[in-house]
Structure 1
Amino acid sequence: MNNIFEWNGPFYRFLAKIVDLLLLNALFLISCLPIVTIGSALTAMYSITIKMARNEDVSIIRGYVAALQKNFKQSTIIWLILLAVGIVLYMDYYYLNQYTGNLLFLVKVSLGLFSFAYFLLFNFIFPYVARFENSVKDSIINTWKIALVHPIKTISVLMITIIPIITLWISVYSFFFLLYFCLFIGFSFFAYINTFIILHIYEGYEK
């Protein structure tokens, strides 16, 4: 029982992990303030959570800043592409409510499939950039390929993103709970959980 509370015991390691995630979450939120840097912030956050999941020694601040600088250009390009496509998707859904033509069902199916591909890419592209070095084009293509080859694990990652979004709309209490949770530790926590699944997917591609 005493071993649990030792300096290097499970309880200490658990608290250290929580502190790391709190610090990482704060760095991520600060990095996202300019909006245009959200892509590089996501990549940097996953760079750290990958090391944390592998129990590697990592300095949260120095490691995060280094990853932010290393992947800034590529991650920013990818983020701007996703942002532009996201705006187009939003406009498509807006005008879909006003469309009453004969092709309504086909339009809905096509838009749904395109939205799924977009959501898939958004969830997997930044962890991919954090782990592998490729061009923007190859990163996008490989992300889709890898995610589709592992449907069960891919769905698990997507659900970790979807469930908090659904929780926002359940009640006012759940909305504010999740809001405060994300402000303090939520983003880094969900990224950390996702990382374990994503690493299992990447194992076969790292050799």
Structure 2
Amino acid sequence: MGNFFSTDGPLFEGMAYIINIIYVSVLWILFSIPIITIGASSTALYYTVTKVIRHGRSYIFREFWQSFKSNLKQSTAVWLICLVMMGILLVDIRVMGAFGTAVSQTLQFVFIVGICMVSAVMVYALAYIARFTQDVRHILTNSVLMAIRHLPKTLLLVVVLAAAVLGCYLFGLGIVFIPAVAALVDSLILESIFVQYMSKEDREKEALRNHPEQYEYYNRKE
């Protein structure tokens, strides 16, 4: 029982985990206030959740700020491109809704699918920026290809995004933890995809960084 209530026990570890979830979600909210920075803020959220919360490396604010600052231009470009595309599709849906014909309803469905696809590509791209270094054109191209190739997981990412948006809409206070929880789920899905596109050497280095005890074992062998 004493170990349960100690600072190294499961109670305090659980509380620290929840506090970190709230902390990084609040950072995402604050850095998203200008609206135009939502892309960079989301990339920083994904990066911080993956590195700090999942793998216990470094500190939340330091990693969030570093990622936000270094990826601001690319993430903003991706965010604005996807935002414009979704805006156009939303206008098309409204226009088709005014006709009320079978053809217009079919086109509405096609445009809705298009919005879902653009949303999925955006999720891939903003996370991709946090993990790889490429120009915006290649980031978007690779994100589209991955979204198509890994369609079942892509659909799951769309569900997670929709659930997060709906959760924040229905439960206002949920915004202080839902963003980080959604990013955590996204990380579990996306990291299993991204690792397939990494070299063997990079995968080994990543595994060592995420498991410090393996670092010590590796260094002793050297």
Shorter-chain TM-score: what band?
0.7 to 0.9
Q: Which residue of 2 aligns with 1:20?
A: 20
Q: 1:187 aligns with which of 157, 161, 179?
A: 179
Alignment of 1:124 onto 2:124? yes
Question: Mind listing any 5+ residue stretches in structure 1 that lack a counterpart?
Answer: 170-174
SS at structure 2 position matched to 1:80: helix
User: What is the letter of the counterpart of residue 199 of structure 1?
Assistant: E
Q: CA deviation at 1:164?
A: 4.0
Aligned pair in 2 of structure 1 residues 14, 77: CA closer, same or farther (>3 Å)?
same
Q: CA deviation at 1:77?
A: 0.9
- Whether the aligned pair in 2 keeps the contact of 1:124 and 1:147 (CA below 8 Å) is yes
User: What is the letter of the counterpart of residue 193 of structure 2?
Assistant: I
User: What is the letter of the counterpart of residue 90 of structure 1?
Assistant: L
- Percent pairwise identity: 23
Q: Which residue of 1 aligns with 2:156?
A: 156
Alignment of 1:203 onto 2:210? no
User: What is the letter of the counterpart of residue 44 of structure 2?
Assistant: A
- Whether the aligned pair in 2 keeps the contact of 1:48 and 1:58 (CA below 8 Å) is no
- Whether the aligned pair in 2 keeps the contact of 1:40 and 1:71 (CA below 8 Å) is yes
**What is the TM-score when the length of structure 1 is the normalising length?**
0.85
User: Which stretch has the larger CA shift, 154-163 or 28-37?
Assistant: 154-163
Q: Which of the pair has the greater relative contact order for Cα pairs under 8 Å at 6+ separation? A: 1
Q: What is the CA RMSD across the aligned residues, in angstroms?
A: 2.2
Q: CA deviation at 1:84?
A: 1.4
- Whether the aligned pair in 1 keeps the contact of 2:168 and 2:178 (CA below 8 Å) is no
Q: CA deviation at 1:166?
A: 4.8
Q: Which residue of 1 aligns with 2:7?
A: 7
* Inter-partner Cα distance in structure 1 for 2:166 and 2:37: 26
- Which of 1 and 2 has greater Rg? 2
Aligned pair in 2 of structure 1 residues 53, 89: CA closer, same or farther (>3 Å)?
same
1:37-76 deviation line (CA, Å, top 9, x unaligned): 1110001111101113541322111111111110001011
Aligned pair in 2 of structure 1 residues 84, 17: CA closer, same or farther (>3 Å)?
same
Q: CA deviation at 1:110?
A: 3.8
* Inter-partner Cα distance in structure 2 for 1:168 and 1:56: 27
Aligned pair in 2 of structure 1 residues 166, 46: CA closer, same or farther (>3 Å)?
closer
Aligned pair in 2 of structure 1 residues 168, 19: CA closer, same or farther (>3 Å)?
closer
Question: Mind listing any 5+ residue stretches in structure 2 that lack a counterpart?
Answer: 200-222
- Whether the aligned pair in 2 keeps the contact of 1:53 and 1:195 (CA below 8 Å) is no
* Inter-partner Cα distance in structure 1 for 2:168 and 2:182: 15
User: What is the letter of the counterpart of residue 94 of structure 1?
Assistant: R
- Whether the aligned pair in 2 keeps the contact of 1:5 and 1:12 (CA below 8 Å) is yes
* Inter-partner Cα distance in structure 2 for 1:166 and 1:68: 25
Q: CA deviation at 1:114?
A: 2.2
Aligned positions of 1:33-48 closer than 5 A: 33-48=33-48
1:145-168 deviation line (CA, Å, top 9, x unaligned): 122222232222222222344557
- Whether the aligned pair in 2 keeps the contact of 1:6 and 1:12 (CA below 8 Å) is yes
